[in-house]
């Protein structure tokens, strides 16, 4: 069973170089602790709370940039899979993206389809479905943060054969009703259970330009049970971050009982109304 890691990091848009260094250090630390799959937060190379387009431009990387080359080298040397949320400049646009890297290099990247808050001021929305890549560990899917709140999107990943969903995320604290665990985690649990997927969600922590984060990065089983969960961001405390780990067994089918299968029991002809506005 592979050991997976979710890196909950404190990132700062005012110090984008520090973001890349913090993310790289977290990858190396997770490898030293035996992780075979490492997931980083959303926009882990830049921070999130941009004040201008120039800040986005100055902190972006490209697929052939120094940071991606460095991560590819680390993945090759460590024989690991890295899934990272990044501020990516590619094909003439800036994307809130997630990238999958393994020992052979960059395997693919995904552009966040469902933009949240002010993200549309800075990023182009993606028009392609969740990325699903066959790796040495199994079929790994990725999307970004808000995407998981659209059940159809997670279902597409499952139907495309995903066994594990790696979710870079930035869950902002925006006055949600306090629950334990937070509703952001509950939604991850529900998505895992409804699709028989392992989910590894890596969130932010601390605060950035007055914005605090829910934190509580989480790793769930295919039943939606929490296997590992990080600490919430303490109020008024600069959280230094943490990495959570779990050994997971990737599913080999989508059966949930001897007589039921979440793929085979679907009746798509009855669902057509959800596609009509």
Expressed as residue numbers, the domain containing 192 is 3-275
- Bridge-partner residues for 162, per DSSP? none
Label residue 239 by pLDDT band (50, 70, 90): low
- Mean pLDDT of all residues in 26-50: 98
Q: Tell me, what CATH number does 29's domain have?
A: 3.60.110.10
- Mean pLDDT of all residues in 177-198: 96
Taking the model in full, what pTM does it have?
0.96
Average pLDDT across the chain, whole number: 95
Label residue 236 by pLDDT band (50, 70, 90): very low
Q: What is the pLDDT of residue 277?
A: 64
C-alpha closest to that of 165 among 74, 107, 248, 88? 248
Q: What is the pLDDT of residue 276?
A: 74
How far is 89 from 38, CA to CA, in rounded Å? 22
SS3 assignment for 16-66: HHHHHHHHHHHHHHHHHCCCCEEECCCCCCCCCCCCCHHHHHHHCECCCCH
Q: H or E segment at 140?
A: strand 139-142
Count the domains in the chain. 1
**Among positive and negative, which fits the CA dihedral 145, 197, 100, 41?**
positive
- Mean pLDDT of all residues in 18-22: 96
Query: In the predicted model, is pLDDT for residue 237 greater than 60?
Result: no
pLDDT per position as a tens digit, 133-184: 999 999 999 999 999 999 999 999 999 999 999 999 999 999 999 899 999 9
Query: In the predicted model, is pLDDT for residue 113 greater than 80?
Result: yes
């Amino acid at each position: 069973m592979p050991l997976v890691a979710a890196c909950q990091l404190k990132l700062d848009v005012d110090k984008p170089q520090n973001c890349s260094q913090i993310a790289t250090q977290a990858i190396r630390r997770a490898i030293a602790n035996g992780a075979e799959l490492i997931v980083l937060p959303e926009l882990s190379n830049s921070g999130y709370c941009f004040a201008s387009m120039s800040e986005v431009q100055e902190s972006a990387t490209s697929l052939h940039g120094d940071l991606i080359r460095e991560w590819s080298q680390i993945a090759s040397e460590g024989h690991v899979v890295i899934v990272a949320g990044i501020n990516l400049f590619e094909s003439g646009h800036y994307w809130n993206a997630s990238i999958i890297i393994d020992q052979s290099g960059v395997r693919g990247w995904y552009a966040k389809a469902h933009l949240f808050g002010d993200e549309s001021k800075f990023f182009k929305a993606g028009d392609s479905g969740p990325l699903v890549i066959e790796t040495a560990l199994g079929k790994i899917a990725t999307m970004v943060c808000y995407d998981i709140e659209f059940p159809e999107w997670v279902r597409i990943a499952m139907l495309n054969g995903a066994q594990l969903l790696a979710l870079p995320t930035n869950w902002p604290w925006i006055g949600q009703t306090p629950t334990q665990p937070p509703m952001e985690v509950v939604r991850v649990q529900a998505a895992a259970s409804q699709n028989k997927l392992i989910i590894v969600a890596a969130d932010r922590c601390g605060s950035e330009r007055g914005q605090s984060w829910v934190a509580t990065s989480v790793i769930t089983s295919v039943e939606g049970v929490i296997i590992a969960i990080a600490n919430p961001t303490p109020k008024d405390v600069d959280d230094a971050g943490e990495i959570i780990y779990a050994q997971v067994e990737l599913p080999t089918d989508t059966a949930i009982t001897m007589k039921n299968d979440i793929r085979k029991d679907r009746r798509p002809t009855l669902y057509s109304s959800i596609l009509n506005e």
